[in-house]
Amino acid sequence: MSTIIDGKAIAAKLRAEIAAQVKKLQTQGITPGLATVLVGEDPASEVYVRMKGNACQDVGMHSVKHTLPAETTEAELLTLVDRLNNDPTIHGILVQLPLPKQINTDTVLEAISPAKDVDGFHPYNVGRLMVGKPTFQPCTPYGIMVMLREAGVDLAGKEVVVVGRSNIVGKPVALMCLQQHATVTICHSKTRDLPSKVRAADVVIAAVGIPEMIKGEWIKEGAVVIDVGVNRVGEKKLVGDVEFAAAAQRASAITPVPGGVGPMTITMLLHNTLEAAQKTVASTR
């Protein structure tokens, strides 16, 4: 039976540390501020934005929520982003995705100042991640790396298989594992014989969005399994991309859904916002 990597507990520990750092920064007259921008009325996005705002308040940060109607034009959104870029009380800007189709997502993400890009999606920061320079790391992959570290997993020389190649999870987490000296395979919908790829993995990171598609019997004995997927099954039940019970029989450590990667994502957003605020202090010295 495997160890459960408890994302909630790791997140709680980190949030306490962040709250202490926020207090310290406040003695220097700065309260880290996060602006969230939600365009339209997607219920899931509303929940995420509310959770992010609440998490800020819990650690003593300042958060401002901007809710714009679904018919907002790209120009109107860019005007708001520009205002937030120039607002000294705001250190991090998060534009909740997806955006309505009349708005070009890339144009908006590129308009956010890289110094306030706490989601780590601006091409400048993505490029810095690619070449291994310090940057805002995208929150979900960053959270995964912290969980692996907390679970005592040394990636050097390990075979890591990432299933999923999105810009927000699969690709960046693969790069981060590579930087930690893993041998990385990235799988996607055109990958041939996925089971054999997963069977060879010391660490499996599943970010697909298909309920329980990674079968327990594919998991190598003793492998570490990180399940990023959040899939609603029926009215209330959430399941991951991995067949949890069967995989837990073989894995040495595994993340649950819920309570695994999810709590870490918002925690790393807080971490990045704190860091953005700390940098403004450092730059005025």
Residues in touch with ligand NDP (CB under 6 A):
140, 163-166, 168-170, 187-191, 194, 207-210, 228-231, 261-262, 265
* Minimum distance from residue 192 beta carbon to ligand NDP (Å): 10
Q: Which one is catalytic: 21, 96, 137, 278?
A: 96
From the list 21, 52, 117, 202, the catalytic residue is: 52
- Smaller CB distance to ligand NDP: residue 112 or 226? 226
Q: Which is nearer to ligand NDP, 8 or 165 (by Cβ)?
A: 165
Largest separation between any pair of C-alpha atoms in the chain: 56
Distance of CA 278 to the CA centre of its chain: 20
Nearest residue (beta carbon) to ligand NDP: 166
Minimum CB separation of residue 98 from ligand NDP in Å reads 10
Pick 25 or 230: Cβ nearer ligand NDP: 230
Q: Is 119 a catalytic residue?
A: yes
Chain-centroid distance of CA 210 in Å reads: 18
Shortest Å distance, C-beta 231 to ligand NDP: 6
59 vs 207 by CB, closer to ligand NDP = 207
Please indicate whether residue 96 is annotated as part of the active site.
yes
Least Å from the CB of residue 1 to ligand NDP? 24
Minimum CB distance to ligand NDP smaller for 155 or for 163 = 163
Which of 21, 116, 117, 119 is catalytic? The answer is: 119
Cβ 156 to ligand NDP shortest distance, Å: 25
| The pair of three-digit structure tokens given for residue 9, joined into one six-digit string | 């507990």
- Active site (catalytic) residues: 52, 96, 119
